[in-house]
Amino acid sequence: MSRKNVHLKVDEFKGNIGLIKNLEISIGKIIEEKWEEPMGPTPFPSLTTLRDWDFKLLQRFKPFYLPFCDVCCLCTFGKCDLTGNKRGACGLNMSAQQSRIVLLACCIGAATHIGHARHLVEHLIEEFGRRHPVDVGGVNVEVEAPVTRLVCGIKPETLGDLEAALDYCENQLTHLLSITHTGQEGSNLDFESKVFHAGMIDQVGMEIADLAQISAYGFPKANPEAPLVELGFGAIDIQKPVILCIGHNVPPAIGIVDYLTENGLQGEVEVCGLCCTAHDITRYNPKAKIVGPISWQLRFVRSGVPDVVIVDEQCIRTDILIEAQKVKAPFIATSEKNCQGLEDRTHDSPDKIVEDLVTGKVPGVLILDPEKAGEVAVRVAIEVMPRRGKFKVIPNVENVIEEAKRCRQCDKCRRACPNDLPIPEAMKAAVEGNLEKLNELYDACIGCARCEHACPENIPVHNFIVKAAEKKMKAETFKVRAGRGPIQDVEIRNVGGPIVLGEIPGVVAFVGCANYPKGGKEIAEMVMEFAKRRFIVVTSGCAAMSAGMYKNEEGKTPYEIYSGDFDAGGILNVGSCVSNPHIAGAAIKIASIFAKRKLRANYEEIADYVLNRVGAVGVAWGAMSQKAASIASGFWRLGVPVIVGPHGIKYRRMLLGRADKQEDWYVYDARTGEKVYVGPTPEHLFYAAETKEEAMVMIAKLCMRPNDTTKGRAIKLTHYIDLHKRLYGIMPEDIHLFVRTIADVPVTMKDEIIKILEKKDWKETVIPDPTLLPRLIRKKKE
């Protein structure tokens, strides 16, 4: 597809009709059709185009609402008390209000990615031109934009083409947000359908952002052997000037790397990052380093290591300017979305800005030009480093012990801590000179510093924890594979069959933020467990970093132990938050490339395929943000279940199947049109697990799909039963729901399972060609 804007400009024209000055005519779009696949049924779907599909999902996976607030305060009728599903002044009840808030969260999330994509695409078009080709893997990736092709029915070939998809996303997003206004939608299920829609367009927005940056910046293009990059606090060379980049939108960080290169300063300055910008700098320059997930922000800044803090957008602590000031680190904001109250110096000369920052005349500046921001950051870091002397605010041990004496044991810190960490006990031990308990808190601390704000004595609790764990923190040196981007078409051809037949037991994607209940180590443990079991393990975002923060006895990290191939036993980091659609894209490409289902604007059929055949599960163990909510909802509509950690319950509603309701688990056999019971496969669509152990058992269970062959089902059951026995100490009690024929039963457990089946009055059933869509039924042959 090619989208061209015809633009005619006439400065001055004198003719018989008179004088025309400054005439400009724009003719919208000319579509040049180059894609041979015929248009599918649902190009650029509207709010209700896929409503029937959504309702099919919602019939099976019903919402369980867990209100986080009993009132509504969104209009001046309110506050309205909705307790017990009462209706407010506008007529909305509690169920609909909860789904409305979920929609609001997903609109925020989708807007963030789509806005990010728009800024990025505009910038890259300016820099590289509208005709710069979209190329994310050369001949290895012919299906370059599976989500965009599926949703929009277009095949973007150039950066300019990407704008059509963004126009659509922005249009839909405006409508979606309008639905949360008072007096619009009244049905909770229609709100939920719109949540799915928000998630779907979010996937398009993210895909556009990553396609653009991979194509323009030359990030790894579907490369399983993307370089291993350094990760961890201890990986940062503090002998050098250090520039810390935080956020998600990479152009300013690219500006830094380019300035260093152009001026022969590579190796002179340490460039490191936190959160997704870190992923994306290392995709550009593997010598850049990743400090860690979002929760490392405070500990790293307060340690005094960064000489300059430069931020772009999203997930940045909003008090980071204050924190940078505490350690006398000059601060640069670079995004219109995050100006931090700073003076806009975009049009000033770099010399003047550098001087003002180095002398401390201003604590920070706003520079809305990524190249200029890059130059200023580098020059300031080099000049300011000797002056700062890595000034830090982390106290010494004596200070910790002395200041801990002010602790009143009032418990306010603990009651403010998201993870209920026993801070008062640790403070008591610190008074006695024992910092071990403070050190122990470090692993589960998410770095929010709510403890400090709650403390009536203003004790800098977080600093104490960081000091007590200093040795451990400085020893954090790991590796993570730089984000590889998409999955190659040939990889899909190789594993499509084993996945759909069930012989590769599943694809598990560890994604999302770092709001972990018991630290990031749990992610690494889960990743290792499933890679060892020869699932395909995919990672992205902060979870991809946590997955790397583990070492085996030989000192090797998961990314060094396992390959980066999209194959059984691989651990592959696709990249930053906006790389998540490569995971959805892999599922879509299995349907399209392996199974040869029509891809173009054919959402419902592909989602039906994925739900019934592709054993993929998303795990967002530390999901925190609204973006995580919209990312998850994009997977739900596509038929991929998502598990969140316990904090994820605060998303206010789960989408839970009921294994005990047999009537919910029928599909059509596309061969005959008969309805066939297939068991709860997958049992849930959105689900918060209480512990890592529960999540692991559920991951294995949610990978089962109606289409599994007997061999595949036996393999999947083996993993489910094995994990269940190990972690729960007992055989699962629902095995009979997953056995369709005796051939499904794992050979090694046959006797034991057959006894269970007999007790449960189990009956054999057939393995259908499963679909939820009556239109896909082929007529029974006479």
Partner 1 sequence: MAVEPWQTAEIPGPKKALVITKPEVVVAMMKRAQRPVLIVGHKAVEIELGNKKVVDYMIELAEKAKIPIVATAHMINEFLKRNYKPAGFMPAVDIGNRLTDPEWNGLDGKGPYDMALFVGLPYYMEWTILSGLKHFAQNLKTITLDNVYHPNASWSFPNISIKDWIENLKVIIEKIEGGA
Contact residues toward partner 1 (CB under 8 A) are 64-71, 81-85, 94-95, 412, 415-416, 418, 420, 454, 517, 646-647, 649-650, 652, 654, 656, 658, 660, 687-691, 693-694, 697-698, 727-730, 733
Pairing of strands 642-644, 616-620: parallel
Let me know: does 736 contact 755? Beta carbons within 8 Å.
no
Q: Is 292 left (phi over 0), alpha (psi -120 to 50) or beta?
A: left
Least distance CB 731 / partner 1 (angstroms): 11
Peptide bond into 682 cis (omega under 30): yes
Kindly state the smallest distance separating residue 592's Cβ from partner 1, in Å.
34
The helix (run of H) or strand (run of E) holding residue 315 is none
Pairing of strands 364-366, 242-246: unpaired
Give the span between the Cα atoms of 616 and 635, in whole angstroms. Answer: 10
Give me the least distance between CB of 520 and partner 1, in Å please.
17
Q: Identify which of 727, 720, 722, 685 has the alpha carbon closest to the alpha carbon of residue 704.
A: 720
Alpha helix ranges (H) inside 311-364:
320-326, 350-358
| 616-620 and 507-510 strand pairing | parallel
- Which two three-digit tokens encode residue 365? 């500046």
Q: Cβ closer to partner 1: 151 or 416?
A: 416
Please list, in sequence order, all residues whose beta carbon lies within 8 angstroms of the beta carbon of residue 122, skipping any fewer than 6 positions away: none
Residue whose CB is less far from partner 1, 102 or 689: 689
Give the pairing of strands 507-510 and 536-540: parallel
- Least separation in angstroms between residue 303's CB and partner 1 is 28
Q: Which is nearer to partner 1, 589 or 653 (CB)?
A: 653
Q: Is the Cβ of residue 377 or residue 416 nearer to partner 1 in the bound state?
A: 416
- Closer residue to partner 1, CB minimum distance, 94 or 500: 94
Q: Are 145 and 211 in contact (CB under 8 A)?
A: yes
User: With respect to partner 1, which residue has the nearer C-beta, 515 or 557?
Assistant: 515
**Judged by CB, which is closer to partner 1: 473, or 655?**
655
Question: Do 700 and 710 form a contact (C-beta atoms < 8 A)?
Answer: no
CB of 137 to partner 1, least distance (A): 39
| Cβ neighbours for 17, distance < 8 A, ≥ 6 positions apart | none
Q: How far apart are CA 104 and CA 181, in angstroms?
A: 10
Q: Which is closer to partner 1, CB of 118 or CB of 684?
A: 684
Long-range contacts: 445-450, Cβ < 8 Å, 24+?
Answer: 445/295, 445/419, 445/421, 446/295, 446/418, 446/419, 446/514, 446/515, 446/516, 446/622, 447/295, 447/296, 447/297, 447/298, 447/299, 448/295, 448/418, 449/298, 450/416, 450/417, 450/418
For Cα atoms 221, 626, 320, give the angle at the middle one, nearest 5 degrees.
Answer: 85
C-beta of 579: minimal distance to partner 1 in Å? 29
Residue 347 vs residues 41, 98, 258, 365: alpha-carbon distances, Å: 49, 46, 20, 12
- Provide, rounded to whole angstroms, the least separation between the CB of residue 532 and partner 1: 19
714 or 756: whose CB is closer to partner 1? 756
Smaller CB distance to partner 1: residue 93 or 325? 93
Given the complex with partner 1, which of 450 and 556 has the nearer CB atom?
Answer: 450
CB of 763 to partner 1, least distance (A): 19
- The two tokens of residue 445 are 């601390």
The distance of closest approach from Cβ of residue 730 to partner 1 in the complex, given in angstroms and rounded to an integer, is 6
Residue 220 CA neighbour count, 13 Å, CB half: 30
Q: Which residues contact 259 (CB under 8 A, 6 or more apart)?
A: 265, 371, 374, 375, 377, 378
Rounded distance between C-alpha atoms, residue 503 and residue 495, angstroms = 9
Q: How far is the CB of 537 from partner 1 (least distance, A)?
A: 21
To the nearest 10 degrees (0 to 180), the angle between helices 489-501 and 581-589 is: 70
What span, in angstroms and rounded, lies between the C-alpha atoms of 621 and 64?
Answer: 20
Closest CA to 277 of 304, 314, 325: 314
Q: How far is the CB of 448 from partner 1 (least distance, A)?
A: 12
Q: State the nearest-atom distance from the C-beta of 189 to partner 1, in Å.
A: 15
**β-bridge partners, 575:** 540
- Name which of 502 and 645 has its Cβ closer to partner 1: 645
Residue number, 387 or 415, with CB nearest to partner 1: 415
- Contacts of residue 643, Cβ cutoff 8 Å, sequence gap at least 6: 617, 618, 619, 620, 621, 687, 688, 689, 695, 698, 699, 702
Nearer to partner 1, 6 or 410 (CB): 410
Residue closer to partner 1, measured from CB, 209 or 451: 451
Nearer to partner 1, 344 or 690 (CB): 690
Nearest approach, Cβ of residue 696 and partner 1 (Å): 9
Q: How far apart are CB 642 and partner 1 at their closest, in Å?
A: 13
CB of 455 to partner 1, least distance (A): 12
Closer Cβ to partner 1, 203 or 419, answer by number:
419
Least distance to partner 1 from the beta carbon of 458, Å? 17
- Residues 6 or more apart in contact with residue 255 via CB below 8 angstroms: 370, 371, 372, 373, 374, 375, 377
Residue 64 CB, shortest distance to partner 1, in Å, is 4
Buried-exposed string 531-569: b where 16+ CB fall within 10 A, e elsewhere:
bebbbbbbbbbbbbbbbbbbbeeeeebbbbbbbbbbbbb
Residue for token pair 């994509």 = 117
